[in-house]
Amino acid sequence: MASTTGVNVPAPGKSVWDGGVSPMGVSYGKLMMWFFLLSDAFTFSALLITYGLVRSSHAAYTGEHADFVFSQEYWPIPERVFEAVPFFHGVAMPLVFVGIMTFVLIMSSVTMVLAVEAGHRMDRKAVEKWMLWTILGGLTFLSCQAWEWTHFIHGSGVGASLSHNEYGPPDFAAFFFFITGFHGFHVFSGVCLNFLIYYNTVTGVYDRRGHYEMVEKVGLYWHFVDLVWVFVFTFFYLV
Amino acid sequence: MEQAEDIQKVNVLPPDKDKIRRLWRVAGYLAAVTTLEFIIAFSMNHGPLKVSIFVGLTIVKAAFIVGEFMHLRYEVKVLFWSILIPMIFVVWMLVAFVYEGMAIADLRF
């Protein structure tokens, strides 16, 4: 178990920075995962902030909410774009589907942290169970996103591409594809990593290794994907 | 055979009930804040106040996810600040770029 957490207690008269201990109190792998996620946060910030720049440099819709129609003249109101739900064709349910997607991702984050907790206790059966739920949550989210993209691309005739769309200025759809696409690819990578962890758990790799720290490291990544979605949800769909 | 013997040596500890309860409570908070965001989305007129409330609630959710789920709240202070302080650059970039965007809008319209 000693290798799961870095040692943070220096010898008498020495500081944590004098060598021989981990000043950050975590293992090398976990620390590097943190710094990778920090750099990834910069990447997502760059995308979302560019969205803010381009959106604030376009005209905003100023009329009554009820009279809103799609136009190239101003940025669309997101809740009027994203109001479709599978099996409820033609019924306007603004933001309901994206709300479901948010819920799915938060729940898969919860099951992931439960897998980490089970890993601390060396409970292989529980890790397997919670990893499976996490993978299922990730796949559900990806399926929802595939449906949403299909609906967005087809729209009501003209639909959307990188150069032109029926909802508003061309940049609107371009940002939708880049931001949700980049996030979706992170989710996809996360599902692959989660499956790898699940496979290693089932085959007893971590039992033989003596600790389940890999579950924690991939867990950090998975929570980060959830964290990014929280920001995408606010800045792309709500604001 | 060798594998089976290895696995038998593994010492499984009982579930940490308090910790699991705390995790579910955090999940409840996240669900509650998201519900609140939905209520605000459909009951308030659009404006700077609404945007500020959304940004504020998003930061609350982010704090729960990073602090509790990612366990950063319980890590050594050096690690905590090594992750949080560089976020200043994001805030700087956000302010600079959105200000720039509004200046572009002024020139265009």
A164-175 per-position pLDDT tens digit: 899 999 999 999
Output the six-digit token pair for A170. 């061309």
Contacts of residue A49, defined as CB under 8 A and 6 or more positions apart, other chains included, come to B90, B93, B94, B97, B98
What is residue A62's predicted lDDT score, i.e. its pLDDT? 83
Taking only the tens place, the pLDDT of each residue in B41-98 is 888 888 889 989 999 999 999 999 999 999 999 999 999 999 999 999 998 998 899 8
Contact B79 A26 (CB under 8 A): yes
Residue from A9, A217, A234 whose CB has the most chain B CBs within 10 Å, to mutate: A234
Q: How does pLDDT run across A193-212, given as a tens digit for each residue?
A: 999 999 999 999 999 999 99
Residue B29 in contact with residue A112, Cβ under 8 Å?
no
B26: closest chain A residue by CA? A110
* Amino acid in position B24: W
Distance from CA of B17 to the nearest CA of A (A): 10
Q: What is the pLDDT of residue A3?
A: 46
Q: Note whether B93 contacts A45, CB cutoff 8 Å.
A: yes
**What confidence score (pLDDT) does residue B6 get?**
52
Per 3-state DSSP, chain B is made up of helix, strand and coil in percentages (nearest 5) of 80, 0, 20
B33: exposed, middle or buried (Cβ count in 10 Å: 0-12, 13-18, 19+)? middle
- Regarding an ipTM greater than 0.90, the answer is no
Residue A103 has pLDDT above 50, yes or no: yes
Question: What pLDDT is recorded for position A47?
Answer: 95
Tell me which chain B residue has its CA closest to the CA of residue A16: B78
Sign of the dihedral defined by the CA atoms of residues B101, B102, B103, B106, in that order: positive
Dist. CA A215–CA A201, nearest whole Å: 9
A165: phi then psi, degrees, rounded to nearest 5 = -155, 160
Per DSSP, the three-state class of A42 is helix
> From residue B104, how far is each of A51, A79, A146, A156, A177 by CA, in Å?
14, 25, 35, 32, 24
Q: pTM to 2 decimals?
A: 0.91
pLDDT confidence bin for B10, thresholds 50/70/90: confident
| DSSP 8-state secondary structure symbol assigned to residue A211 | -
Judged by CB atoms closer than 8 Å, whether chains meet at B61 and A49 is answered as no
Least CB–CB distance from B105: residue in A26, A57, A239: A57
Q: In chain A, what residues touch B17 (CB-CB under 8 Å)?
A: none
- Encoding tokens for residue A188? 């996809």
